[in-house]
Structure 1
Amino acid sequence: MKITKESVESQAIRYLRSHILEGHIKLGAKLVESALAKELELSRSTVRMALNSLVNDGLVIQKPYSGWQVVEINEQDLWELYHMRLALEGEAAAMAAKWASSDDKRRLADFFQEYQLLCLQHGDDTRRISEMDWQLHLLIVEICGSARMLNQYKQILYPLQAYIALTHQDYDLSDSASSHQALVQAICSGNAVMAAEQARDNITPMFRSAAVQTN
Structure 2
Amino acid sequence: MKITKESLESQAIRYLRTHILEGHIKLGEKLVESALAKQLELSRSTVRMALNSLVNEGLVIQKPYSGWQVVEINEQDLWELYHLRVALEGEAAAMAAKWASKTDKTRLADFFQEYQLLCLQHSDDTRRISEMDWQLHQLIIEICGSVRMQSQYKQILYPLQAYIALTHQDYDLSDSASSHQALVQAICSGDAETAFEQARANITPMTRGGELSESN
The answer to whether the superposition gives a TM-score over 0.5 is yes
Which runs of 4 or more aligned residues in structure 1 lie more than 6 Å from their structure 2 counterparts after TM superposition? none
Q: TM-score w.r.t. structure 1 length?
A: 0.95
Task: Give the number of aligned pairs.
Answer: 211
In structure 1, the residue matched to 2:11 is 11
8 Å CA contact retained: 1:124, 1:174: yes
- Percent identity between matched residues is 87
Q: Secondary structure at the match of 1:209?
A: coil
Partner of 2:214: none
- Tell me the residue number matched to 1:43: 43
Aligned to 2:206: 209
Task: Tell me the TM-score normalised to structure 2 length.
Answer: 0.94
Say yes or no: does 1:123 pair with 2:120.
Answer: no
Aligned residue in 1 for 2:111: 111
Counterpart of 2:151 in structure 1 is 151
TM-superposed deviation, 1:4: 3.6
**Residues 49-60 of structure 1 correspond to what in structure 2 (within 5 A)?**
49-60=49-60
SS of match in other structure, 1:112: helix
Measure, in 2, the Cα distance between the counterparts of 1:213 and 1:36: 31
Superposed CA offset, 1:153-185 (max 9, x none): 110000000000001111111111010000000
Deviation at 1:209, TM superposition (A): 3.2
Amino acid across the alignment from 1:133? D
Structure 2 unaligned spans of 5+: 212-216
Q: Give the direction of change, closer, same or farther, for the CA distance of 1:4–1:184 in structure 2 (3 Å limit).
A: same
With over 3 angstroms needed to count, the CA separation of the structure-2 counterparts of 1:176 and 1:41, relative to structure 1, is same
Q: CA RMSD in A?
A: 1.5
Separation in 2, partners of 1:145, 1:43: 36
CA–CA distance in structure 1, aligned partners of residues 144 and 3 of structure 2: 28
What runs of 5+ residues in structure 1 fail to find an aligned partner?
A: none
Does the 8 A contact of 1:186 with 1:194 survive in 2? yes
Counterparts in 2 of 1:138 and 1:194: CA distance versus 1, 3 Å? same
Q: Is the 8 A contact 2:79 2:206 kept in 1?
A: no
In structure 1, how many angstroms separate the alpha carbons of the residues matched to 2:57 and 2:104? 24
